Amino acid sequence: MSTLTPTALADCPSQLRVLVLGYVWPEPNSSAAGRHMLSILKSFLSVGWDVIFASPAVQGDHKIDLTTLGIKEQNITLNCASFDRFVESLQPDIVLFDRFMLEEQFGWRVAQFCPEALRILDTEDLHSLRHARHQALKQGRELQPDELNSDMAKREIASIFRCDLSLIISAYEYQLLQQHYHVPKDLLLLCPFMIDLNSIQSPKEAPVSYAQRQHFITIGNFRHEPNWDAVLWLKQAIWPQIRAQLPEAELHIYGAYPPKKATQLHNPKQGFLLKGWAADAQHVMTRARVCLAPLRFGAGLKGKLVEAMLCDTPSVTTNIGSEGMHGLADAQDRLPWPGYTVDFAVTQQAICAQTFAQRAITLYQNADIWHTSQTQNKRWLYKHFNAQTLQPQLIQTLCTLKDTLKAHRSQNFIGQMLQHHALKSTQYMAQWIEAKNRIS
């Protein structure tokens, strides 16, 4: 675990208590969201803060044991006054909501029983953006601007306004929130994946050369719909074209929680191999020659692409996959992608699949192009995902907000209005459900 420098910790108290309310229990070996949450938790621990992680979710098969890191674990219940007693007794200095749905459930309770706590929303990605793109894809058309103003978007943006700060993982979404939804910049912090790059300096295994690598790989939690859709598109449109030109190549598909409909796609004769959960994702990624991420919809950042960068594996993805990965750099300052990107259009999917397959074949066969692409991986990691830069920025921002919380909130009138009015409906609904549960 990295340690922040003394300079970065100027004026930051070392005895803060942080309560993290998790939508799910972190599974860093199963999902990018789990890895991102773990990096945030480690940021808090690195400055000596007391961290409690609480969730109403059922613990999954691949949950990390947070207690080994010194983090307390607490099960909580939805729509129950037991949380009120818990949070009032705890009196955290900072409360972080994992996804806007948790802020809707518990935000009003936190505001009522520990009003001086700094309220942070970790969006993970813009769920409303991902949902709108999915609906457009299913209907075979391009996304229209007015679809960004869906009911889900209204809930999500309201949650952002109610919080003191929202952590935004994607530079694209950071700009979209300001330009389309007019969210003030001081309510947002760009907080992408925070990677401890010391591990690159001392890799667990020796580098694997182009000649030693073979086959293609794709990886992703099957409970995340964009990942399952990408596997389907590979099966139906992309992989048959690759296999026709590379009959000895295989596609190794890894991911936690594969449903039966996914495992039924396993076909050794076609080189289409469903491998399931990878206990060591970096081990299998390092042995693949090319990572494929043909995402047709989605939001946020893609952990599989950062994993590929960490393993020096060139990748082929869509503009949806690479979106937001460039940080806030303008077009002239952007690094070349470590492989290829393909612009996806819903109305031209056949052409997109053909282009994707051909670029995957070129990257797989051409050693010179492969090596040139590979050299970009570490440049991307150091420029955009360096924890030694991003962790101090996160901690310093929280400390500054904590010191200026009253003034900060006074400037967020929309947030105050939503807290006063809209949250009342959430409160009354939760209390009605609680009373109904007592009767039944």
The answer to whether 128 and 100 have CB atoms below 8 angstroms apart is: no
Domain positions in the chain: 15-194+387-439, 198-384
Q: How many residues does the chain have?
A: 440
pLDDT range class, residue 11, cuts 50, 70, 90: low
Confidence of residue 66 (pLDDT cuts 50, 70, 90): very high
| Spatial separation of the C-alpha atoms in residues 159 and 122, rounded to whole Å | 11
Per-residue confidence (pLDDT) for residue 315, from 0 to 100 = 98
Q: What Å distances lie between residue 270 and 159, 236, 288, CA to CA?
A: 47, 12, 18
pLDDT digits (tens, 9 = 90+) for 242-293: 999 999 999 999 998 999 999 999 999 999 999 998 888 899 999 999 999 9
The pLDDT score that the predictor gives to residue 334 is 85
**Higher model confidence: residue 271 or residue 423?**
271
- Cα separation, 270 vs 6, in Å, equals 56
Domain 198-384 class?
A: alpha beta
CATH number of 15-194+387-439: 3.40.50.2000
Q: Which band of pLDDT confidence, cut at 50, 70 and 90, is reported for residue 186?
A: very high
118-122 and 165-168 as β-strands: parallel, antiparallel, unpaired?
A: parallel
Strand partners, 165: 120
Average pLDDT over residues 107-123: 96
In this model, does residue 2 exceed pLDDT 70? no
Whole-Å CA distances, 68 to 64, 71, 142: 9, 7, 47
86/353 Cα distance (integer angstroms)? 52
Q: Please give the distance of CA 328 from its chain centroid, rounded to a whole number.
A: 17
Determine the average pLDDT of the residues in 143-167: 96
Considering only residues 180 and 333, tell me which one the structure prediction assigns the higher pLDDT. Answer: 180
> What integer is the mean pLDDT of 155-171?
97
For 250-276, b/e burial (b = at least 16 CB within 10 A) is bbbbbbbbbeeebeebeeeeebbebee
pLDDT of residue 8: 47
Candidates 6, 109, 17, 2; CA nearest to 402 is 17
Instruction: State the pLDDT at residue 5.
Output: 46
Give me the mean pLDDT over the 336-347 stretch.
96
Neighbours of 379 (CB within 10 A): 13
- Given this chain, do its domains 15-194+387-439 and 198-384 carry the same CATH topology? yes
Checking if the pLDDT of 341 tops 80, the result is: yes
- In the predicted model, what is the mean pLDDT of the chain? 91
Q: Which helix (H) or strand (E) holds 33?
A: helix 32-46
Mean pLDDT confidence for 106-111: 94
Percent of the chain with pLDDT over 70: 91
What predicted TM-score, i.e. pTM, was given to this entire model?
0.91
Amino acid found at 31: S
* C-alpha pair distances (Å), 403 with each of 49, 390, 407: 16, 20, 9
Cβ(87)–Cβ(113) below 8 Å: yes
- Give DSSP secondary structure letters for 326-338: TTT--GGGPPPPS
Average pLDDT over residues 368-381: 96
Which has more pLDDT, 3 or 13?
Answer: 13
Please give the pLDDT value at position 35: 92
For residue 416, pLDDT over 50 is answered with yes
The answer to whether the beta carbons of residues 218 and 258 sit under 8 Å apart is: no
pLDDT of residue 6: 39
